[in-house]
């Protein structure tokens, strides 16, 4: 298992009021090559896509996406959830060549 | 590449771009003053470019920052070791390409970066259009955003400027269209969902949806050459440096927008 060597941008506040809406934004650099395109040499360009995106908060999985070739390159994801406990927010990404990315940020709930 | 363009030669020798779909001229664009490609974008792409998080070109800015700070090999100074912050070079960016009196040649930002890599870091220079060169170029130009493109051209570069302008106005390719045909005469016209802009270079490197990635000025020139079925020149070739010089001069005053988002 490798790691994704291309950059990722992750935006998540470090603190949120209890019961407040938190937004998580994510921009990933990835070719999202569909596997259907023909290259300049006339050969099919092999598929290379992100396959999975999982976000967990504390011990709950709050998003678990299976990704398909129809997504544009360098995809952007945004999701929001309610801050109800102080805990880690973990992002896990996988692509179809075994590259993975795991990133954890603490979210502190303030009164 | 550019399937929707059909060209008709009129009996009197004039050219018409039959666009297949509507050809609506840009009434909102004021004539005369140069306009950035930004002015020709829809609401959504303008918002994407302005988004300090989601503009996809910022991925290359981040990567450029990391490369700027990293030693390319053990014991080799990083760009940052000699130059400090990337912003320390911001004043130079709007003056590129420029004439180098020592070599008696034009040099652009990519060329200067590659030169530092080989002469001062003793590394093989990053290939044109490689992720590394795009990232460094984007990072440096991003540090200069907001500064106006300079119109100043050294005396010695006057012939190069004139050749750049001639290239811009020369008809080429199987379609027999010049850069000026599309980017002056038909600026504002619609080509499918695309509005043809004035062909300005103040946003480069740009994140282009058509490419699904970021690209340099010379990649754009190559794409536009291929659009009229003309043979493109290699990256960094003299005619493209001259064209780049002419386009900087032509767009003088436009603020740098790197990384711009374009269709």
> B79, B179, B182, B224: which one is catalytic?
B224
State residue B129's pLDDT score. Answer: 97
Condensed to tens digits (0 to 9), the pLDDT of residues B73-109 reads: 999 999 999 999 999 999 999 999 999 999 999 999 9
What superfamily would CATH give domain A8-110? Immunoglobulins (2.60.40.10)
State residue B1's pLDDT score. Answer: 30
Token representation of residue B31: 């004539």
From residue B80, give the alpha-carbon distance in Å to each of B60, B62, B175. 17, 15, 47
| Band (B192; pLDDT cuts 50, 70, 90) | low
Residue B263 forms contact with A (CB below 8 Å): no
State residue B195's pLDDT score. Answer: 87
- Taking only residues 154 to 213 of chain B, the set having a beta carbon closer than 8 angstroms to any beta carbon of chain A reads 207, 209, 212-213
Question: Cβ separation of B59 and A7 shorter than 8 Å?
Answer: yes
The backbone torsions φ and ψ at residue A105, rounded to the nearest 5 degrees and listed phi first, read: -130, 145
Rounded Cα distance, A44 and A27, in Å: 27
| Cα pseudo-dihedral A54, A57, A60, A62, rounded to 10 | -50
Q: ipTM of the assembly?
A: 0.81
Option in A25, A27, A31 nearest B56 (CB):
A27
Residues in chain A with CB shorter than 8 Å from the CB of B1 are none
SS (H, E, C) B59-98: HHHHHHHHHHHCCCCCCCCCHHHHHCCHHHHCCCHHHCCE
Question: Cβ separation of B212 and A6 shorter than 8 Å?
Answer: no
Residue B30 has pLDDT above 60, yes or no: no
Rounded Cα distance, A62 and B90, in Å: 43
Residue B21 forms contact with A (CB below 8 Å): no
Domain boundaries, chain A: 8-110
State residue B161's pLDDT score. Answer: 98
Residue A8 has pLDDT above 80, yes or no: yes
Catalytic residue check, B224: yes
State residue B32's pLDDT score. Answer: 65
Condensed to tens digits (0 to 9), the pLDDT of residues B141-152 reads: 999 999 999 999
Q: What are the structural domains of chain B?
A: 38-263 (1.10.760.10)
Condensed to tens digits (0 to 9), the pLDDT of residues B148-184 reads: 999 999 999 999 999 999 999 999 999 999 999 999 9
Helices B109-119 & B131-142 angle (0-180, nearest 10): 120
| Band (B8; pLDDT cuts 50, 70, 90) | very low
Residue B63 has pLDDT above 70, yes or no: yes
Residue B239 has pLDDT above 90, yes or no: yes
Write down the residue that tokens 């650099």 correspond to: A29
Work out the minimum CA distance from B151 to partner chain A, whole angstroms: 35
Condensed to tens digits (0 to 9), the pLDDT of residues A66-106 reads: 998 888 999 999 999 999 999 999 999 999 998 888 999 99
For B120, other C-beta atoms within 10 Å of its C-beta total 12
CB A12 within 8 A of CB A106: no
Residue B15 has pLDDT above 50, yes or no: no
Question: Cβ separation of B54 and A76 shorter than 8 Å?
Answer: yes
Burial environment of residue B139 by CB neighbours within 10 A (0 to 12, 13 to 18, 19 or more):
buried
3-state helix, strand, coil in chain A (%, to 5): 0, 60, 40
């Amino acid at each position: 298992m490798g790691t994704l060597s291309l950059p990722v941008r992750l935006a998540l506040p470090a603190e949120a009021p209890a019961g407040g809406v938190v937004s998580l934004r994510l921009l990933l650099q990835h070719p999202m090559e569909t596997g259907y395109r023909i290259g300049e040499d006339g050969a099919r360009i092999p598929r290379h896509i992100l396959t999975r995106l999982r976000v967990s908060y504390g011990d709950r999985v709050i998003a678990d996406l299976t990704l398909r070739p129809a997504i544009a390159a360098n995809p952007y994801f945004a999701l929001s959830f309610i801050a109800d406990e102080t805990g880690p927010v973990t992002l896990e990404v996988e692509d179809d060549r075994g590259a993975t990315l795991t990133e954890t940020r603490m979210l502190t709930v303030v009164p | 590449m550019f399937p929707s363009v059909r060209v008709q030669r009129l009996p009197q020798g004039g050219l018409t771009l039959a666009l297949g779909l509507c050809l609506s001229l840009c009434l909102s664009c004021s004539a005369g003053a140069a306009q950035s490609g930004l002015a020709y974008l829809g609401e959504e792409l303008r918002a994407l470019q302005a988004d300090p998080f989601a503009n996809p070109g910022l991925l290359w800015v981040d990567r450029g920052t990391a490369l700027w700070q990293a030693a390319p090999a053990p014991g080799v100074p990083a760009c940052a070791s000699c130059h400090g912050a990337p912003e320390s070079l911001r004043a130079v960016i709007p003056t590129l390409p420029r004439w180098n009196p020592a070599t008696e040649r034009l040099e652009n930002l990519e060329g200067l970066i590659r030169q530092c890599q080989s002469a001062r870091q003793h590394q093989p220079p990053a290939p044109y259009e490689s992720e590394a060169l795009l990232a460094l170029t984007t990072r440096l130009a991003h540090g200069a955003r907001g500064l106006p493109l300079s119109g100043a051209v050294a005396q010695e570069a006057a012939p190069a400027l004139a050749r750049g302008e001639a290239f811009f106005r020369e008809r080429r390719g199987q379609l027999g269209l010049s850069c000026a045909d599309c980017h002056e005469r038909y600026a504002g016209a619609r080509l499918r969902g695309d509005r043809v802009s004035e062909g300005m270079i103040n946003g480069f490197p740009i994140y282009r949806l058509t490419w699904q990635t970021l690209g340099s000025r010379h990649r754009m020139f190559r794409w536009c050459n291929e659009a009229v079925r003309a043979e493109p020149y290699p990256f960094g070739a003299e005619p493209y440096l001259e064209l780049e010089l002419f386009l900087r001069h032509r767009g003088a005053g436009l603020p740098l927008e790197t990384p711009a988002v374009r269709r």
